[in-house]
Amino acid sequence: YAPWCPACQQIEATWESFAKESGRLGITVGKVDVTQEPGLSGRFFVTTLPTIYHANDGVFRRYRGSRTLEDLQSYILERKWEAVEPVAGWKSPSSIMMHGMAGLFHFSGWIRQIHNYLTGTLGVHVWVSYAIFILATLLIGLFLGL
């Protein structure tokens, strides 16, 4: 989820109720703010918000059903998750490929922090910051090409 997402705000009360029922259902319910944990959004290949996953014994399934409390509970109680196709091995959050995606998301966050430092703290003009990143990209490409 993301705090600014209208769909996430709409399901928040339902999700909190679902989390309160987690002990009775024998599961653990959590939520992750993708603005605070960008690596997880890369690892889970989050393209829409909110995105709900069911994980059991290292097997991940994306929940695409109705977002009512009753439907979420029946998904668990009636074991409807067993009929859902697991996430493909290469797209699984525990795969090497998704570890790489998480790294790219962390790297982009690091670049944003540098940009904010240059423009906010040092007072460098935005376009000068962009030029620095363009130059760095070219130099890294030339170095790797050699």
Query: Which residues are catalytically annotated?
Result: 5, 8
- What angle, rounded to 10 degrees, do the helices at 6-20 and 69-77 form? 50
| Residue type at position 4 | W
Matching residue, tokens 């309160």: 20
How many CA atoms lie within 13 Å of 56's alpha carbon, on the beta-carbon side?
14
Instruction: Give the span between the Cα atoms of 29 and 58, in whole angstroms.
Output: 15
Instruction: Give the span between the Cα atoms of 111 and 65, in whole angstroms.
Output: 36
